[in-house]
Structure 1
Amino acid sequence: MKNLLEKEIDTRRTFAIISHPDAGKTTLTEKLLLFGKAIRQAGTVKAKKSGKFAASDWMEIEKQRGISVTSSVMSFLYEGYHINILDTPGHEDFSEDTYRTLTAVDCVVMIIDSTKGVEPQTKKLFKVCRMRGIPIFTFMNKLDREGREPLELLQEIEEVLDIESYALNWPFGTGKRFLGIYDRYNDAFIRFTGDEQEERIPKEALEAHGELQQQPTFQEGLEELELLEGAGNDFDPERVRAGELTPVFFGSALSNFGVQAFFEAFLEYAVPPQPRKTNERIVQPEEEGFSGYIFKIQANMNPQHRDRIAFLRVCSGVFERGMTVHLTRTGKTMKLSQAQFFMASDRETVEKAYPGDIIGIYDPGAYQIGDTLVEKKETYQYDELPQFPPELFAKVRAKNVMRAKQFYKGIEQLVQEGAIQLYRQDSSDEYILGAVGQLQFDVFSYRMEGEYNVEIDMVSMGERIPRWLAVNDKQLNKRLFDERSLLVKDREGRFAVLFKNDFALRYFQEKNEDVELVDLLQAQEDDFQAAK
Structure 2
Amino acid sequence: MQNIRNIAVLAHVDAGKTTITENLLFLGGATRKMGSVDTGSAITDSLQVEKERGISVRSACTSFIWENTQINLIDTPGHVDFSAEVERVLRVLDAAILVVSAVEGVQAHTHTLYEALCERGIPVLIFINKIDRPGADVLQVFKDLQKELKTPVFALQTCSDEASNEAIIQHLWTNETNELGDDLKELSLEVLANTDEEVLEKYLEGDVLDPSYCLSKAQNLCKQSKLNPVLLGVAKNGLGMPELLDAIVNYFPEVSIESESEPSALVFKIEHDKTLGRLAHIRMFAGSLKNRDSIRNVVANRDEKVSLIRKIYTNKHIDIGALEAGDIGLVSGMPEVQVGDILGSKNGVPENTTLQIPLLIVGIKSKNEADYAKLAEALQELSSEDPLLQFEWFKKDREMNLHIMGTIQMEILEMLLYSRFGVEVSFDEPTVVYKETPARETEAYIRYTMPKPCWAVARFKIEPGVRGSGVTYKSIVGVNDVLQKYQNEIKRTIPKALEQGIKGWEVTDIKITLIEGEDHEMHSRPGDFMIATPMGLMKGLLEADTNLLEPILKFKISAPEEFLGKIAGELNQMRAVFANPEFDDGKFHLEGEVPAATSMDFNIRLSSLTGGKGKVKFGFSCYQDCPGGEEKQREYKGVNPLDESQWILHARGAFKTNEWRL
Q: TM-score over 0.5 for the alignment?
A: yes
1:357 aligns with 2:317: no
Q: In structure 2, what is the Cα distance between the partners aligned to 1:509 and 1:88? A: 39
**More displaced, 338-347 or 378-387?**
378-387
Which of 269, 277, 280 matches 1:307?
A: 277
Relative distance call for 1:143 and 1:455 in structure 2 (3 A) is closer
Q: Is the 8 A contact 2:548 2:626 kept in 1?
A: no
Q: Is the 8 A contact 1:486 1:497 kept in 2?
A: no
Q: 2:208 maps to what in 1? A: none
Q: 1:414 maps to what in 2? A: 382
Q: 1:370 maps to what in 2? A: 340
Which of 247, 252, 255 matches 1:273?
A: 255
Q: In structure 2, what is the Cα distance between the partners aligned to 1:405 and 1:347? A: 32
1:336 aligns with 2:324: no
Q: Is the 8 A contact 1:99 1:125 kept in 2?
A: no
1:250-296 alpha-carbon deviations (Å, 9 max, x no partner)? 1111111121112112211202224xxxxxxxxx7344332211011
Q: How much does 1:232 deviate?
A: 5.2
**More displaced, 257-266 or 237-246?**
237-246
Q: In structure 2, what is the Cα distance between the partners aligned to 1:114 and 1:478? A: 46
Q: How much does 1:177 deviate?
A: 8.0
Q: In structure 2, what is the Cα distance between the partners aligned to 1:233 and 1:487? A: 50
**SS of residue in 2 equivalent to 1:17:** strand
Q: 1:519 maps to what in 2? A: none
Q: Is the 8 A contact 1:487 1:498 kept in 2?
A: no
Matched to 2:505, the amino acid is L
Q: 1:125 maps to what in 2? A: 113
Q: In structure 1, what is the Cα distance between the partners aligned to 2:290 and 2:500? A: 55
Q: Is the 8 A contact 1:30 1:43 kept in 2?
A: yes
Q: 2:23 maps to what in 1? A: 31
Q: In structure 2, what is the Cα distance between the partners aligned to 1:73 and 1:29? A: 10
Q: In structure 2, what is the Cα distance between the partners aligned to 1:478 and 1:100? A: 24
Q: In structure 1, what is the Cα distance between the partners aligned to 2:76 and 2:143? A: 26
1:396 aligns with 2:355: no
Q: How much does 1:327 deviate?
A: 1.3
1:363-395 alpha-carbon deviations (Å, 9 max, x no partner)? 543111111112xxx576934434543122111
Which of 162, 166, 169 matches 2:154?
A: 166
TM-score (norm 1): 0.75
Relative distance call for 1:434 and 1:448 in structure 2 (3 A) is same
Q: 1:213 maps to what in 2? A: none
Matched to 1:220, the amino acid is E
Relative distance call for 1:508 and 1:32 in structure 2 (3 A) is closer
Q: Is the 8 A contact 1:311 1:361 kept in 2?
A: yes
What is the aligned residue count? 449
Q: In structure 2, what is the Cα distance between the partners aligned to 1:408 and 1:241? A: 47
Relative distance call for 1:149 and 1:398 in structure 2 (3 A) is closer
Q: How much does 1:182 deviate?
A: 2.5
Q: How much does 1:243 deviate?
A: 2.6
Q: Is the 8 A contact 1:172 1:220 kept in 2?
A: no
Q: 2:34 maps to what in 1? A: 42
TM-score (norm 2): 0.61
Q: Is the 8 A contact 1:313 1:356 kept in 2?
A: yes
Q: Is the 8 A contact 1:390 1:421 kept in 2?
A: no
Relative distance call for 1:239 and 1:145 in structure 2 (3 A) is same
Q: In structure 1, what is the Cα distance between the partners aligned to 2:30 and 2:500? A: 60
Q: 1:462 maps to what in 2? A: 431
Q: How much does 1:321 deviate?
A: 2.5
Q: 2:179 maps to what in 1? A: 220
**SS of residue in 2 equivalent to 1:247:** strand
1:327 aligns with 2:346: no
Which of 270, 283, 298 matches 2:271?
A: 298
Relative distance call for 1:344 and 1:226 in structure 2 (3 A) is closer
Rg larger in 1 or in 2? 2
Q: In structure 2, what is the Cα distance between the partners aligned to 1:222 and 1:314? A: 42
Relative distance call for 1:461 and 1:142 in structure 2 (3 A) is closer
Q: Is the 8 A contact 1:488 1:498 kept in 2?
A: no
Q: 2:70 maps to what in 1? A: 82
Matched to 1:470, the amino acid is V
Q: 1:432 maps to what in 2? A: 401
Q: Is the 8 A contact 1:109 1:137 kept in 2?
A: yes
**SS of residue in 2 equivalent to 1:309:** strand
**SS of residue in 2 equivalent to 1:236:** helix
Q: How much does 1:337 deviate?
A: 2.0
Relative distance call for 1:480 and 1:44 in structure 2 (3 A) is closer
Relative distance call for 1:497 and 1:314 in structure 2 (3 A) is farther
Which of 221, 225, 239 matches 1:239?
A: 221
**More displaced, 436-445 or 135-144?**
436-445
Matched to 2:96, the amino acid is V
Q: How much does 1:358 deviate?
A: 1.6
Q: 2:573 maps to what in 1? A: none
Q: How much does 1:428 deviate?
A: 5.7
1:307-351 alpha-carbon deviations (Å, 9 max, x no partner)? 322110111122323322121123422221212211353211122
**SS of residue in 2 equivalent to 1:32:** helix
1:415-453 alpha-carbon deviations (Å, 9 max, x no partner)? 011162324579968432111112222222323333333
Q: 2:556 maps to what in 1? A: none
Matched to 1:447, the amino acid is L
Which of 127, 149, 165 matches 1:139?
A: 127
Matched to 1:432, the amino acid is N
Mind listing any 5+ residue stretches in structure 1 that lack a counterpart? 1-6, 188-202, 207-217, 275-283, 511-532
Q: How much does 1:68 deviate?
A: 0.7
1:261 aligns with 2:243: yes
Relative distance call for 1:229 and 1:111 in structure 2 (3 A) is closer
Matched to 2:56, the amino acid is S
Relative distance call for 1:381 and 1:138 in structure 2 (3 A) is closer
Q: In structure 2, what is the Cα distance between the partners aligned to 1:263 and 1:470? A: 48
Q: In structure 2, what is the Cα distance between the partners aligned to 1:17 and 1:288? A: 30
Q: How much does 1:222 deviate?
A: 5.5
Q: In structure 2, what is the Cα distance between the partners aligned to 1:407 and 1:425? A: 13
Instruction: Give the root-mean-square deviation of aligned CA atoms.
Output: 3.5
Q: 1:214 maps to what in 2? A: none
**More displaced, 98-107 or 319-328?**
319-328
Q: 1:523 maps to what in 2? A: none
Q: 2:502 maps to what in 1? A: 481
Identity value in percent: 24
1:442 aligns with 2:381: no
**SS of residue in 1 equivalent to 2:430:** strand
Q: Is the 8 A contact 2:498 2:506 kept in 1?
A: no
Relative distance call for 1:363 and 1:421 in structure 2 (3 A) is farther
Relative distance call for 1:89 and 1:503 in structure 2 (3 A) is closer
Q: 1:521 maps to what in 2? A: none
Q: In structure 1, what is the Cα distance between the partners aligned to 2:146 and 2:318? A: 42
Q: 1:175 maps to what in 2? A: 163
Which of 219, 225, 231 matches 1:249?
A: 231
Q: In structure 2, what is the Cα distance between the partners aligned to 1:222 and 1:474? A: 62
Matched to 2:192, the amino acid is N
